[in-house]
């Protein structure tokens, strides 16, 4: 049996203490349930990066538009423009610029969707040709909204982040 110092001093029954504890615990749980019920009646609004997000459809609306990202890799300047259309299609334009040379341009297209946490893109055309059916390219990354005109895509497979900035219409 566990010794409870206060009860030993007063010669009280430890089982009586347990029932008081149970009543207090039940009372606390009931209060929490009532509080949660009262709060659930209100509309859930989350402010993410200064953007009010009420549900998944608002994230999809936020993602519609044209986005850009630029980076340097292996001494090549790379600029990608990604247009996410409301009908579920996307177009990605890629410009790869080696030093002191004209840029190499590529255009890809396909379909995209937002699953509640991630953007998933499947490529249907790469430079005007369908990709190999044996190796259908796709991209998945978690979306983290950083501001009204910016989001970060987190690629958990390749362990890197990409930052997109919204381009004006």
Question: Residues 14-53: pLDDT tens digits?
Answer: 555 455 555 554 445 444 434 444 444 444 444 555 566 6
DSSP string, 87-137: TSEEEEEEEEE-TTSPPEEEEEEEEEEE-SSEEEEEEEEETTBPPPGGG--
What was the pLDDT predicted at 50? Answer: 56
- This prediction has a pTM of 0.68
pLDDT at 35: 40
Check residue 132 and give its pLDDT: 85
Q: Where are the domains of the chain?
A: 5-40, 56-166
CATH code for residues 56-166: 2.40.128.280
What's the full length of the chain, in residues? 169
**Inter-residue long-range contacts of 55-61, CB under 8 Å, 24+ positions, other chains counted:** 56/114, 56/116, 59/114, 59/143, 59/145, 60/114
Q: What is the pLDDT of residues 93-145, one digit of tens each?
A: 999 999 999 999 999 999 999 999 999 999 999 999 999 878 889 999 999 99
């Amino acid at each position: 049996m566990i010794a409870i110092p206060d009860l030993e001093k007063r010669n009280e029954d430890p089982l009586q203490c347990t029932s008081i504890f149970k009543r207090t615990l039940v009372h606390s749980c009931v209060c929490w349930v009532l509080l949660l019920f009262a709060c659930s009646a209100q509309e859930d609004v989350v402010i993410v990066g200064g953007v009010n997000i009420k549900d998944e459809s608002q994230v999809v609306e936020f993602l519609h538009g044209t986005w850009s990202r630029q980076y340097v890799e292996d001494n090549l300047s790379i600029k990608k423009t990604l247009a996410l259309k409301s009908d579920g299609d996307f177009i990605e334009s890629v410009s790869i610029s080696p030093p002191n040379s004209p840029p190499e341009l590529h255009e890809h297209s396909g379909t995209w969707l937002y699953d509640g946490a991630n953007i998933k893109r499947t490529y249907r055309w790469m430079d005007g040709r369908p990709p190999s059916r044996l190796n259908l390219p796709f991209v998945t990354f978690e979306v983290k909204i950083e501001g009204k005109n910016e989001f970060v895509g987190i690629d958990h497979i390749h362990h890197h982040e990409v930052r997109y900035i919204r381009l004006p219409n």
